[in-house]
Amino acid sequence: MVKAIPNMLTISNLFLGVMAILLAFQDGYQYVEYAAILVILGMALDGLDGRMARLLNAQSEFGKQLDSLSDLVTFGVAPALIIYAAALQELGMLGVISIGVFPICGALRLARFNIQSSGKTGYFVGLPITAAGGALATLALYHNSFPPPYLVLTMLMLAYLMVSRVKYPNFKKVGVPKATIWVVPILIVSVAFLGYLFPTQLPKVVSIPLVLYALYGVKKSIDHLRWKGNKSLEKNEEEHVINDSTL
């Protein structure tokens, strides 16, 4: 029974994703904020299920596949529909097509992750769908500050980062001591309570580190391209000097 806890957390994550989709389209889209909060709660559960599986020595191929399927719903489909409900409906067919790109890239990201060993290294290849979905769901609450085309571009950028080769830090190896298991339900309840008290403010606060995490990978890639460019320039200069000396 104890070893079923990680899968129960994963299923709870999936349940929150389904509920987030339903809330996003309820009563004139008044509950988009709460839909975003459910995605945030899903992030908390997603961060715990793997750690609990390692802690309880309950890792399995079944749990791995279940986790990916749950992530696709909670962090792929749900955030896309949340931002569509909040801001993109006025774009018509363009809005419909654009939200389809995000979960497709999320599915590709998860499929690649499942057949590679990036989860066992110190980095992820591509932006994790958890971070991308969390960022998109929380950024949907800024729909009054940014016109829909900007939100579409942001969504497409997050989708691209998921399938890119950009390397992101992997924090999943941070262990959870057995003595702190009791903190888990307190953490989840605390996030839910804060979300109830501050339905708009909490998602916006959470969006800040998620966006910074996404931009971190972009900056590292730009730095790497600049480094390669400088190395190539230095090599060309060295060859030019050698050719001049030969002449």
Whether 128 is covered by a domain: the verdict is yes
Q: Is the pLDDT of residue 233 over 70?
A: no
Tokens describing residue 218:
């972009």
The count of structural domains within the chain is 1
The CATH number covering residue 117 comes to 1.20.120.1760
- Residues in the chain, total: 247
**pLDDT value, residue 77:** 96
Backbone angles phi, psi at 79, to 5 degrees: -60, -40
Q: Is the pLDDT of residue 220 over 80?
A: no
Condensed to tens digits (0 to 9), the pLDDT of residues 17-57 reads 999 999 998 877 678 888 999 999 999 888 888 777 777 78
Angle (CA) 25-23-202 rounded to 5° is 120
Whether 107 is covered by a domain: the verdict is yes
Q: Is the pLDDT of residue 247 over 60?
A: no
Whether 236 is covered by a domain: the verdict is no
Whether 14 is covered by a domain: the verdict is yes
Whether 31 is covered by a domain: the verdict is yes
Amino acid identity, position 219: K
Q: Are 166 and 217 in contact, with CB atoms under 8 Å apart? A: yes
**pLDDT value, residue 222:** 80
Q: Supply the range of the domain harboring residue 19.
A: 2-215
Q: Is the pLDDT of residue 239 over 70?
A: no
**pLDDT value, residue 118:** 47
Q: Are 106 and 75 in contact, with CB atoms under 8 Å apart? A: yes
Whether 189 is covered by a domain: the verdict is yes
Number of separate helices (H) and strands (E) present in the chain:
9, 2
